Amino acid sequence: MIYGITGNVKKEEIWQPIAEFTHWLRASRMPFVLDKPVAEGLAHRNLVTSDIADFHSRPNLPHESEVILSFGGDGTLLTTAHNVGARETPILGVNMGRLGFLADTEVQQLKDTILQLEKGKYRIESRMVLEARFEGEEGADTQWALNDFVIERSLTPQLISIDVTVDSSQLTTYWADGLIIATPTGSTAYSLSVGGPILVPDCGVMVLTPLAPHTLTVRPIVLPDSVVISIKVPENPFVLASDGRSTSFDDDGRILTIRRAQHSVKLIKLPAQDYYQTLRSKLGWGGK
């Protein structure tokens, strides 16, 4: 198995663990490649020699790896997933952040984790992805999200109106700070923080969660993943964020369509890893 190594190069705390891990892989004769910025960062800090960094450096990690190890937190894993894209190379998240719903292998456990992978003791979870495109703009790039799309007000202190249609049937017009369209994976991210429900990852659904709606009777709604959601912001500029990557748009009344994407994100999980145990641990359920 060829291990690709990437990480959040802005975090100084990743360098020593990655250096120690690469030395262990070399001593264990396990093949690996390094994302080019990671290789350059290791060489710059004299944690590996420049010839080793150059030999293992790869500008296109997903094409030359069988498993990608993402060192950082959930945000780093989201970036890794976007870099992998439709190639669907499996990703193992190595948690060096705080909460870690996605990057759930702790760095201290990494060597034991790799030994389990070498023995075939793992499973691959396919996580649902959403795609978004402005209607009638076939030449435009399709955006996609593993966690969520977020529509928020831009350059104004006022609430914005968001017209939402589900499969050609009007749902409602949200009068709010914004709207989150989340996958089951993203249900424990921004959506959860504003009162959205927790969805088990393999549920075939998505959830719409309004941000500070003007009408208190407006609540999150769970929809099947087979629907097409059409969204229009008719009056104000707005920001569309895809897994935290933001783009600003004017109030030109274009229609945004969101649906389930054809590809998925593959995450590696160990036999002992259990989603409900993760919830109990990360959210502190059952504590006194």
pLDDT of residue 140: 63
CA distances from 89 to 98, 135, 278 (A): 25, 30, 24
The CATH class given to the 3-127+264-283 domain equals alpha beta
pTM of the model: 0.92
Q: Among 26-40, 87-101, 108-122, whose mean pLDDT is lowest?
A: 87-101
Model confidence band, residue 173 (pLDDT cutoffs 50, 70, 90): very high
Query: Are the C-beta atoms of residues 189 and 148 closer than 8 Å to each other?
Result: yes
Alpha carbon distance 21, 157 (integer Å): 48
CB 8 within 8 A of CB 41: no
Q: What's the CATH number for 130-260?
A: 2.60.200.30
**So what's the pLDDT on residue 76?**
94
Where are the CATH 3.40.50.10330 domain residues in the chain? 3-127+264-283
pLDDT in tens, 137-169: 665 678 999 999 999 998 778 899 999 999 999
Q: Is the pLDDT of residue 87 over 80?
A: yes
Average pLDDT, the chain: 92
| Catalytically annotated residues | 74
- Minimal CA–CA distance to 55: which of 83, 22, 82? 22
Tens digit of pLDDT for each residue in 247-258? Answer: 988 866 789 999
Distances (CA, A) of 240 to 103, 106, 211: 25, 32, 14
- Portions of the chain given CATH number 2.60.200.30: 130-260
Helical H runs in the chain? 15-27, 36-44, 50-56, 61-64, 74-84, 110-118, 190-193, 275-283
Q: What is the pLDDT of residues 180-202, one digit of tens each?
A: 999 999 999 999 999 999 999 99
Confidence of residue 85 (pLDDT cuts 50, 70, 90): confident
253 φ/ψ sector (left φ>0, alpha ψ -120 to 50, else beta):
left
Instruction: Give whole-number Cα distances, 154 to 151, 172, 176, in Å.
Output: 9, 21, 12
Per-residue DSSP letter, 186: G
pLDDT surpassing 70 at residue 84:
yes
- The predicted model gives 237-262 an average pLDDT of 90
